[in-house]
Chains A and B, each alone.
Chain A
Amino acid sequence: MEKTIAGKQITVNEEGYLTDFNQWNEQVAEALALEAEVSLTPRHWEVLKYLQNEQKNQVALSIRRIGKSGLLDIKEFYQLFPVAPLKTATKIAGIPKPASCI
Chain B
Amino acid sequence: MKNLVILGAGTAGTMMANHLHHHLKRPDWQISIIDEKEEHHYQPGYLFLPFDIYTPEDIVKKIEEFIPGDVNLVREKINRILPKENVVQLSSGRSINYDILIIATGAKIAPEETEGMKGSEWQKSVFDFYTFEGSLALRDKLRHWQGGKLVIHITEMPIKCPVAPLEFAFLADSFFKHKHLRDKVDITYVTPLSGAFTKPKATETLEHLLEEKKIKIESDFAVECIDNDKKELVDYGGRRVPFDILVTVPTNKGDDLMERSGLGDDLNYVPTHKATLQSKNYENIFVLGDASNIPASKAGSVAHFEAEILTDNISLYIEGKPLKEEFDGHANCFIETGNGKALLIDFNYTHEPVEGSFPFAGIGPLRLLKESRINHMGKLAFRWIYWNMLLKGTHIPFVPATMSESGKHYN
B194 lies within 8 A of A62 (CB): no
Q: How many Å from the CB of B67 to the closest CB on chain A?
A: 30
A102 to B156, CA, bound (A): 11
**A83 interface contact, C-beta 8 A:** yes
Contact (Cβ within 8 A) B237 A63: no
Is A1 at the interface (CB under 8 A from chain B)?
no
Bound CA span A64–B253, Å: 13
- Which residue from A68, A84, A101 sits with its C-beta under 8 Å from B157? A101
- B297 touching A102, Cβ below 8 Å: yes
A77 at the interface (CB under 8 A from B): yes
Chain A CB within 10 Å, residue with most, of B162, B194, B236, B297: B236
Name the residue of chain A whose CB is nearest to the CB of B302.
A102
Cβ-defined partner of A74 (8 Å) among B222, B266, B296 = B222
Bound-state Cα–Cα, A68 to B267, Å: 12
B194 touching A87, Cβ below 8 Å: yes
Please measure, in the bound complex, the distance between the C-alpha atom of A74 and the C-alpha atom of B298, giving whole angstroms. Answer: 26
Q: Decide: B236 and A101 in contact? CB cutoff 8 A.
A: no
In the bound assembly, the distance between CA atoms of A85 and B192 in angstroms comes to 11
Known: A63-B222, A68-B266, A102-B296. A78 touches B158 (CB 8 A): no
Residues of chain A within 8 A of B296, CB atoms compared = 102
Interface residue count on the A side (C-beta < 8 Å): 18
**CB proximity to A under 8 Å, residues B282-303:** 295-298
How many Å lie between the Cα of A101 and that of B220 in the bound state? 12
- Distance, CA A62 to CA B265, complexed state (A): 13
Pairwise interchain contact A63-B192, C-beta atoms closer than 8 A: yes
B295 pairs with A87, CB closer than 8 A: no
Query: Which residues of A sit under 8 angstroms from B237, Cβ to Cβ?
Result: 78, 82-83, 85
Q: Hey, which chain A residues are within 8 Å of B162, CB to CB?
A: 102
What distance in Å separates the Cβ of A80 from its nearest Cβ neighbour in chain B?
11
B157: nearest chain-A partner, CB-CB: A101
Contacts of B298 in A (CB 8 A): 102
Which residue of chain B has its CB nearest to the CB of A84?
B220
Given A68-B266, A102-B198, decide whether A62 and B295 contact each other with a Cβ distance below 8 A: no
* CB 8 Å contact bits of B220-244 with A (1 = contact, 0 = none): 1010100000000000110000000
Candidate in A74, A84, A87 with the most chain B CB atoms within 10 angstroms: A84
What is the CB-to-nearest-CB distance from B142 to chain A, in angstroms, rounded to a whole number? 29
B296 nearest CB neighbor, chain A only: A102
Measured between alpha carbons, how far is A87 from B193 in the docked complex, in Å?
10
- Cα–Cα distance between A77 and B236 once the two chains are bound (Å): 9
A63 to B194, CA, bound (A): 14
Residues 74-102 of A at the B interface (beta carbon under 8 Å):
74-75, 77-78, 82-85, 87, 99-102
What 0/1 pattern do residues 251 to 269 of B give for CB contact below 8 A with A?
0000000000000001100
Q: Report if A65 contacts B (CB, 8 A).
A: yes
Among A63, A87, A100, A101, chain B packs the most CB atoms within 10 A around the CB of A101
In the complex, A101→B295 CA distance in Å? 9
- What would 16 more interface pairs be, CB under 8 Å, given A68-B266, A75-B224, A102-B198? A63-B156, A63-B236, A65-B266, A74-B222, A75-B236, A78-B236, A82-B237, A84-B194, A100-B157, A100-B158, A101-B157, A101-B192, A101-B193, A102-B157, A102-B295, A102-B297
